[in-house]
Structure 1
Amino acid sequence: MDLICSDLHLSAATPALNAAFVALLEGRARQAQRVFLLGDLFEAWTGDEDVDDPGCRPVIHALRALSDAGCEIHVLPGNRDFLLGAGFAAATGARIHGDWMIADIAGERTLLLHGDTLCTDDLPYMQFRAMVRNPQWQAAFLARPLAERHAMAEDVRRRSKEATAGKGEYLMDANADTVAATFRQHDVRQMIHGHTHRPARHAHEVDGVRCTRLVLADWRDRACWFEADARTRVALTTADDGQVVRDTRYPD
């Protein structure tokens, strides 16, 4: 079984969600052969010194324990935690990928990605993304003292919220032409991503071929993830008591 989730946005300010994720790693995820985390696991990641942050430490330890138990953990960077690096990988046993990866999900060759690269209508964000993914910018940022990096990250979050409030809904969603081009580029018929916080199953026709795009939910108010095995694909969520229930936002 594979377990996939995205956009947890964990931080010291989200103790309940942090605990829910740890419970998932110590519970249901122990039945998975692979866990895929598709970006924005953390609300911010200012460098791998953050593995020692008290707010992150339980999550780091739970990921390490799951990895040590034999589960593969695959992490893709998001727009909040694109600085996850070798220190995080060493601490957790996770494998960090680039902007995308392809995996067999429920018997279908599937493209996995965070999803921000699909939102090409948002030109200011795409410009910002190009800047912060530049290795020279990252080296200069990581050379700053940790406290300064934290302050800069907080300022970016504040300005991002202000900018988002003034943007049209279409700017923050996937561009249809970019989605089609991405299906063509990777020669797949199934895509799974997060980022937009708009959970849904979308049907696309690309060059006469029917394709499926599954958008994962974020963790704003509850833990939620996608499960798949060779026969079935089911979206699940956890109730407050930790019991697993069906999530009807992803109809079969």
Structure 2
Amino acid sequence: MTQQLFISDLHLSAERLDTVQLFIRFLSERAPKADHLYILGDLFDAWIGDDHEAPPIAEIKRAMHRLSQAGTRLWLMHGNRDFLIGESFCRETGAVLMQDPTLVELYGKPTLLMHGDLLCTEDQAYMKFAREVRNPDFIKHFLSQSIQQRLELAKTYRAQSGEAKSLKPESIMDVNRDTVASYFVEYQADHLIHGHTHRPADHVIELKDKRHYRHVLAEWHHDHGELVCVTPQGFRRETYS
């Protein structure tokens, strides 16, 4: 049966090797049964450039390449942690880099795909920071530095982000309802799939007497991950362990 899988927020790193192995096993056991696998951001906990080859990056890339070679189309979207993933990584893995947002047709259902951070517009400090670090001049300057310098900078940014997050009210780190509604209207989508917030749920939104559906993806953990599987019969959640 034709099916398409959606995951996000794996936050893979050398400090999360159990999650890395879970993902690699997922790529060999569950993902090959799908026609498409969409990774909607934050595959990695940090990405300092395609030239960084520290373990377990090579092992992850080989597993992704095997999946794409076996016939599953692999799609990748930047997250707020790994927005420096580039074309070199995609060539090595067989992944296709997607824009955020991207509108796709899932068995006749117009569906908007996003990482999700663009929906959290009440967190003005984060939105400002995101604009700054995704500026092409900032990226060019960052990538011009040595790998060690980039690692230190990334560590500093993560520490600042964690400290700032601990001081913020929970409400502003979730999506803004009006922002969500505006994306549904702008893209004329019936469904929205996103991650980022780590608040997995399926929401029904009424707009102009029409129902729209927002599917929030889960963060992956050391012993299990969650995905959304879409088939001609509809949307369902699965746990992989």
Alignment TM-score, normalising by the size of structure 2: 0.96
**Which letter maps to 2:122?**
D
**Which letter maps to 1:179?**
V
Tell me whether 1:83 sits opposite 2:84 in the alignment.
yes
**Whole-Å separation in 2 of the counterparts to 1:225 and 1:107:** 21
Report sequence identity in percent: 39
Correspondence for 1:238? 240
How far does residue 119 in structure 1 lie from its aligned partner after superposition? Answer: 0.1
Correspondence for 1:97? 98
Correspondence for 1:27? 29
Q: How many residues align?
A: 238
Correspondence for 1:247? none
Provide Cα deviations, 1:66-85, integer angstroms capped at 9, x if missing partner. Answer: 11111111111000000010
CA, structure 1 residues 142+101, in 2 after alignment: closer, same or farther (shift >3 Å)?
Answer: same
Correspondence for 2:144? 143
The 5 Å alignment of 1:1-252 reads 1-50=3-52, 52-221=53-222, 222-239=224-241
CA, structure 1 residues 216+106, in 2 after alignment: closer, same or farther (shift >3 Å)?
Answer: farther
How far does residue 230 in structure 1 lie from its aligned partner after superposition? Answer: 1.0
How far does residue 64 in structure 1 lie from its aligned partner after superposition? Answer: 0.4
Question: Does the 8 Å contact 2:78/2:85 carry over to 1?
Answer: yes
Question: Does the 8 Å contact 1:106/1:233 carry over to 2?
Answer: no
**Worse-superposed segment, 96-105 or 182-191:** 96-105
Provide Cα deviations, 1:173-224, integer angstroms capped at 9, x if missing partner. Answer: 0001100001111111110000000001111112222110000110134211
Unaligned runs of 5+ in 1: 240-252
How far does residue 106 in structure 1 lie from its aligned partner after superposition? Answer: 4.7
Question: Does the 8 Å contact 2:218/2:225 carry over to 1?
Answer: no
**Whole-Å separation in 1 of the counterparts to 2:14 and 2:80:** 18
- Give the alignment's Cα RMSD to 1 decimal: 1.0
**Which letter maps to 1:44?**
A
**Worse-superposed segment, 12-21 or 203-212:** 203-212
Question: Does the 8 Å contact 1:3/1:35 carry over to 2?
Answer: yes
Higher relative CO (Cα under 8 Å, sequence separation at least 6) belongs to 2
**Whole-Å separation in 2 of the counterparts to 1:70 and 1:164:** 40
DSSP 3-state at the match of 1:30: helix
How far does residue 235 in structure 1 lie from its aligned partner after superposition? Answer: 0.7
DSSP 3-state at the match of 1:159: helix
Unaligned runs of 5+ in 2: none
Question: Does the 8 Å contact 1:112/1:191 carry over to 2?
Answer: yes
